[in-house]
Amino acid sequence: MGLSLKHLEVFYAVMTCGTLNGAASILCVSQPAVSKSLKLAEYKLGFSLFKRVKGKLTPTQEAHILFEQIKSIYVDLNNLQSLARNLANNPEGRITIGCLPSLALCAIPQVTARFIKENPRVFITVGTQHSDELQQQLNNRLLDLAITFGLKNDSGLISTPIAEIPLVYIDSLPHRNPINIHQIDEDRWIHPNAYSFTTAIGRSRIFKKTVVDVQTYYMAAEFVKQGVGSSIIDLFTAFFMLPDHMIFPIEPKLSAKIYLIQHRDLTVSKPTQKYISMLQHHLATQVKQLNERLYMTK
């Protein structure tokens, strides 16, 4: 036999409060009612949730395992309640955004902070995932839009390039500028194992050796900072993570496009359109400023 939602609610309250009285207080019921519901839950489950020692409740191992699963349900429920309150105040005032971890370092927070100041009634949710997860969330209608460096073929999604970001060579060792990609020491190569960057780099050179493969661009930057080797990453991540003397122009010039990805069947709200325009302007401005800084400091 399974648990009802009422049983889950009582169990969650007891685990959170640690006592029957505390759970009864937040549930606005009597302590005997909580105790009865808890015993019925244990009966239906077929195992004990708590050990009762000298009047104190100690969760069993099974209770801890169950609680970890239930916590995510209540987090989602709280998010849903927050969203519902926002929709009641402003039906179109909601944007759910997903982006790559590297873009979450500076670009997306900067744009979002400015947008919130200008549009305080718009409720924004921002999350970070890798490209495959972002596409899956878009297909499941969990995101309004995603910002990423690439899109694998998916007929249900549409992608629009909104910026072209230069790639740069990063190294803790001194170099003359610019760095020719064929002069990079393969024995010190840190490979950014991402499809968009691998494709862009592969047009000029295929690296046959690597010191370490990394899944994120900021991890590549951190390994460079630690003196492990060298790599090629995007301009944004480089200037956010590293001092200027570790960032170099590269020849031939390489770049990666940033794409705005949306579900084909979703209508773009006015707040979302405004956010997209603000993001495009911010990216264009930042690319110009950082590119000038790249060559100015060398």
Q: The domain spanning residue 214 has which CATH number?
A: 3.40.190.10
Q: Say what the pTM is.
A: 0.66
> In this structure, are 168 and 252 located in the same domain?
yes
Report CA dihedral (275, 277, 281, 286) to the nearest 10 degrees. Answer: 40
Please check whether residue 144 lies inside any domain of the structure: no
Could you tell me which residues come within 8 angstroms of residue 119 by beta carbon, excluding any fewer than 6 positions away? 93, 271, 274
| Last residue in a domain, options 31, 57, 87 | 87
Name which of 32-36, 90-94, 106-110, 279-283 the model is least confident about: 90-94
The whole-angstrom separation of Cα 154 and Cα 295 is 38
Task: Let me know if residue 36 belongs to a domain.
Answer: yes
Give the Å distances, CA to CA, from 182 to 62, 86, 178, 207: 57, 54, 12, 10
In the numeric block, which tokens belong to residue 189? Answer: 């190569």
In a domain, 287, yes or no: no
Residue 54 identity: K
Number of domains in the chain: 2
| CATH classification of the domain holding 56 | 1.10.10.10
The lowest-confidence range among 89-98, 171-180, 225-234 is 89-98
Last residue of a domain, one of 32, 56, 87: 87
Q: Confirm whether 278 is domain-assigned.
A: no
Instruction: Give the domain range for residue 79.
Output: 5-87
Q: How many residues does the chain have?
A: 298
Predicted confidence (pLDDT) at residue 117 exceeds the cutoff of 80: yes
Asked if pLDDT for residue 1 goes beyond 60, the answer is no
Cα dihedral: 224, 227, 231, 233 (round 10) = 10
Beta bridge partners of 51: 58
Q: What is the pLDDT of residues 13-60, one digit of tens each?
A: 888 888 888 888 888 888 888 888 888 888 888 888 888 877 788 889
Assess whether pLDDT exceeds 80 at residue 10: yes
Does residue 197 lie within any of the structural domains?
Answer: yes
Q: Which of 173, 165, 215, 158 is nearest to 190 (CA)?
A: 215
Q: Tell me whether residue 126 is in a domain.
A: no
Is position 131 within any domain?
no
Question: Within a domain: residue 235?
Answer: yes
